[in-house]
């Protein structure tokens, strides 16, 4: 009888924990933002609303309503200065996915320094930075950059990057590496020193090969991208545009000398479109020009499916 009572208590606690994770008003529940209306339901639009057009017809796909995000030549450089949407509440461990088409710019301006970011971001004092990225540089939208940023718990400038860059049109993994503030006192020191994982480290290098996607160009059509975020694993993936097959881009369970590389604390869900002064795509040197004309990108939908039990357990353990 005593053992049975203990079991009932344990089950009740698990049930309560799961319920709490679904009713915590600080966090997003499961949602799909379809951008069917003039104002998104689950995202805030940062800055001038003249940058955004939600619920409009796609330029490139019939019978699809999208959000257009527009950048202008007068916009300042930097990720916070272009159009950007941010979830109305926090997110945490879960499955994230989106269907989008980045800006088709390279034919007009081959060395444009434009970036599209689909990502999470939040710095929390005591926990550090929680950032997970998909990024494309418009000078060569065959290239995709995926990775994370974490930091020291109390200093967002003490950063560590774990990342992989892939040419999806050829299936070539250009590199998988990490960088850390431990390599110097400045951001320049960190960027100047890259570390490559040991070739025997399957946890950091899986998969070692990726199938080429015929004619892949992120600016020519919509693709579905996503990542599955667990406390000890991050898996970036995309869907094959013809078969719907899930293609694993990086299944990371690795370690680095300073951090696991996997963010742990809650974050916010974001998408942005911006101009860089110092980040050229590997295949087009000096592709850092400011935009000469207004440019747009399109997003069809964004989805979030939280892992409620994992989230409740983490918040209970950290009294968050």
| pTM, two decimal places | 0.92
- The strand ranges marked E within the chain are 31-33, 43-46, 52-57, 65-71, 84-87, 94-101, 114-124, 128-137, 143-152, 155-167, 172-180, 195-196, 223-230, 233-239, 246-252, 269-275, 295-306
Q: List pLDDT tens digits, range 215-272.
A: 999 999 999 999 999 999 999 999 999 999 999 999 999 888 776 789 999 999 999 9
| CA–CA dist 24, 279 (Å, integer) | 39
| CA–CA dist 147, 144 (Å, integer) | 10
Residue 13 falls inside a structural domain: no
Nearest to 165 by CA among 135, 198, 203: 135
Domain at 79, CATH number: 2.60.120.200
Tokens linked to 319:
């009294």
3-class SS at 265?
coil
Residue 91 falls inside a structural domain: yes
Report how far apart, in Å, the C-alpha atoms of 231 and of each of 38, 70, 262 are: 36, 35, 7
Residue 2 falls inside a structural domain: no
| CA–CA dist 178, 228 (Å, integer) | 20
Range of the domain at 89: 26-318
Residue 216 falls inside a structural domain: yes
Beta bridge partners of 196: 177
Residue 267 falls inside a structural domain: yes
End-to-end CA gap in the chain: 35
Q: What is the Cα Rg of the chain in Å?
A: 20
Inter-helix orientation angle 2-23/308-318, to 10°: 100
The low-confidence residues of the chain, meaning pLDDT below 70, are 1-22, 48-49, 185, 259
Residue 43 falls inside a structural domain: yes
The pLDDT assigned to 310 comes to 98
Contact 154, 125 (CB under 8 A): yes
Q: List pLDDT tens digits, range 169-193.
A: 999 999 999 998 888 767 777 777 8
Residue 8 falls inside a structural domain: no
The pLDDT assigned to 20 comes to 57
Beta bridge partners of 252: 234
For the chain, what is the domain count? 1
Beta bridge partners of 270: 86, 119
By CB atoms closer than 10 A (0-12, 13-18, 19+), residue 244 is exposed
Contact 247, 301 (CB under 8 A): no
Residue 5 falls inside a structural domain: no
The pLDDT assigned to 21 comes to 55
Secondary structure letter of residue 123 according to DSSP: E
| Residue recorded with tokens 């529940």 | 29
**Side-chain half-sphere exposure of 219, counting CA atoms within 13 A:** 19
Alpha carbon 86 to chain centroid, angstroms: 12
């Amino acid at each position: 009888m005593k053992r049975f009572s203990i079991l009932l208590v344990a089950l009740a606690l698990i049930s309560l924990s799961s319920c709490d994770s679904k009713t915590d008003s600080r966090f997003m529940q499961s949602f799909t933002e379809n951008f069917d209306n003039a104002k998104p339901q689950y995202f805030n639009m940062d800055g001038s609303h003249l940058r955004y057009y939600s619920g409009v017809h796609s330029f490139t796909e019939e019978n699809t309503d999208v959000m257009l995000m527009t950048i202008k030549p007068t916009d300042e450089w930097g990720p916070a200065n272009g159009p950007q949407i941010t979830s109305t509440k926090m997110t945490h461990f879960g499955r994230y996915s989106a269907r989008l088409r980045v800006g088709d710019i390279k034919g007009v301006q081959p060395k444009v320094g434009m970036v599209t970011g689909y990502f999470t971001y939040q710095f929390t004092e005591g926990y550090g930075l929680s950032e997970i990225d998909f990024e494309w540089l418009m000078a060569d939208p065959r290239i995709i950059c995926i990775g994370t940023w974490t930091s020291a718990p109390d200093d967002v400038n003490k950063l560590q990057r774990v990342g992989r860059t892939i040419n999806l049109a050829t299936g070539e993994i250009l590199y998988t590496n990490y960088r850390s503030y431990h390599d110097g006192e400045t951001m320049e020191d960190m960027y100047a020193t890259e570390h490559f994982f040991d070739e025997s480290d399957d946890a950091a290098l899986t998969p070692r090969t990726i199938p080429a996607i015929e004619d892949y160009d992120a600016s020519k059509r919509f693709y579905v991208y996503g990542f599955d975020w667990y406390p000890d694993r991050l898996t970036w993936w995309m869907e094959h545009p013809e078969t719907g097959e899930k293609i694993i881009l990086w299944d990371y369970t690795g370690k680095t000398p300073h951090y696991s590389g996997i963010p742990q604390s809650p974050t916010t869900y974001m998408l942005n479109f911006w101009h860089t002064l110092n980040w050229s795509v590997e295949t087009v040197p000096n592709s850092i020009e400011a935009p000469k004309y207004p440019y747009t990108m399109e997003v069809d939908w964004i989805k979030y499916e939280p892992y409620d039990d994992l989230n409740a357990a983490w918040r209970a353990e950290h009294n968050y």
